[in-house]
Chains A and B, each alone.
Chain A
Amino acid sequence: MTAPFPTPKTDESQRLLSPEELEAALRDIGARRYHNLHPFHRLLHDGKLNKDQVRAWALNRYYYQAMIPVKDAAVLARMEDASLRRVWRQRIVDHDGDAPGDGGIERWLKLAEGVGFRRDYVESTQGILSATRFSVDAYVHFVKERSLLEAIASSLTEMFSPTIISERVAGMLKNYDFITKDTLAYFDKRLTQAPRDAEFAIDYVKQHATTPELQRQAMAALTFKCNVLWTQLDALYFSYVAPGMTPPDAWTPGTGLVPEVAQAAGTGTIRSGDVPRLPRGVRLRHDEVRGQHVLLAPERTFDLDANAVAVLSLVDGQRSVRDIAVKLAETFTADPDVIEVDVLAMLNDLATKRVLER
């Protein structure tokens, strides 16, 4: 039985691989260890994560995105060849942009905002998992401390990213109604940027890893980087999927969100697709003494007319507003679109009074 994550052989006597063999060996590392294989990513792509779990991912991953230019600047600082620097500096431009509101970090912030976060909360990184911070910081330290060859080889995960990105975009758009094409704009750019960057890096590694020892170092560097990515998903899984052990200071659902989103936990405008429900403490009751239906709520009673009773009897926490309108339209042989307008007006009035939620 082979270990799932073997470390590269340390045998000094291994033979020198041809450049093509080296590339194949590097690609093999990705095929076995890249984070598209991680259970958390499978859940993400298959639409199995709930909105808060997607939020946790977007929030934590921001720290990785934000530190990429710091990492690339550290790599750049070690390059003594101007032609190398001219190529590498493009990575920083891609991420930071040429002006405020531009670049990969900005597009990631848009993604985080798209799932409901406040920008300042995301930028503060105060809610990220320690494991995220440790992993990303380890990556930055790695490129500072190791050889330039290892620093460049560690970036080679980009060889594998186009696969994960297309899977991710298609899966998320299909499975999450809160994700739009605009939210995922970050990945559009990366689809063209990553192969260009990876091509340069693999050429560099193939050209400069000229001894078995250097080839081993390049493979170890890529393995390290795969682990940087994998560990971040381990931590997300542990904290937000199972067993759900969130560290004391890490983000918890409901915090860091823009006010409208924070409210959306039950309040706010009710729309056609929403499923309304009567929360605990609000009850529809027939009042035998007065011979009418009433809605009992905190410190008040609503007298209900026949229409209101017809609507509220269908509010069961299962049916959407649309379902209710269609059902009423059948009963009263009327146009569901016309009925829906009235139903929405009534339900929103009750929602404003805090006796109906969604």
Chain B
Amino acid sequence: MIKNFFIIAILAGLAAIFVTLFWDFGDSETLTPLATHYATNGATEVGAPNLVTSIVVTYRGFDTLGEVTILFLVASIVSFFLKREKVQKEIAPKRETSEIILTAAKLLVPIVMLLGVYVFINGHLTPGGGFQGGAIIATAFVLLLMANPDFEINHKIIATVESVSGIAFVLIGVLGILLAGGFLDNKVLPLGTFGKIFSAGAIPLIYSFVGLKVGSELSNILSNLQGVQKEEM
């Protein structure tokens, strides 16, 4: 089979490249100059204890903006593709959701959402941040959808939250040009005390908006993929 031969040839070539890379790999003992700059000046320049957050939100804030845009595009393409049909109703008899899931969903959904909010508000102090918090909020929606498959997420609210937080994210960035050093600079607000919750300038604000935006986009994708729909082709 000529196809299998090609597959094996490609894999063998890639494996050879990996072996040469593997021999070149040495245990690194010191940081690269870029990382050294972030590590020594991060505390005074940005004021956030979590260096990953300060890189994601401030030093490379533009990347985050692009990433949120990609998620927005994915959410809109998925909902364009899998449009829900309103006329068609469930024909097959539904299975009853078990009592345990119903009760647990009622109890757990607020707590899970609160955990998501905690994770993105404390993103500059502890591990976590907007993307993780948004994903946790989306899992709360998954729990709701499991307990009640007919549950309709209110698309108006989701669209409003999503667009308002997106606009606010860009507006804070533009304010950075006007009041501070450049686009998405966090010195719009005072830096505050190092290690307190209201510190690090605009980082908690920006990460909260990113969290809300990611959470609503992921919930939108999930509810579009979950919905039972039949279309005539």
Are A and B part of the same complex?
no
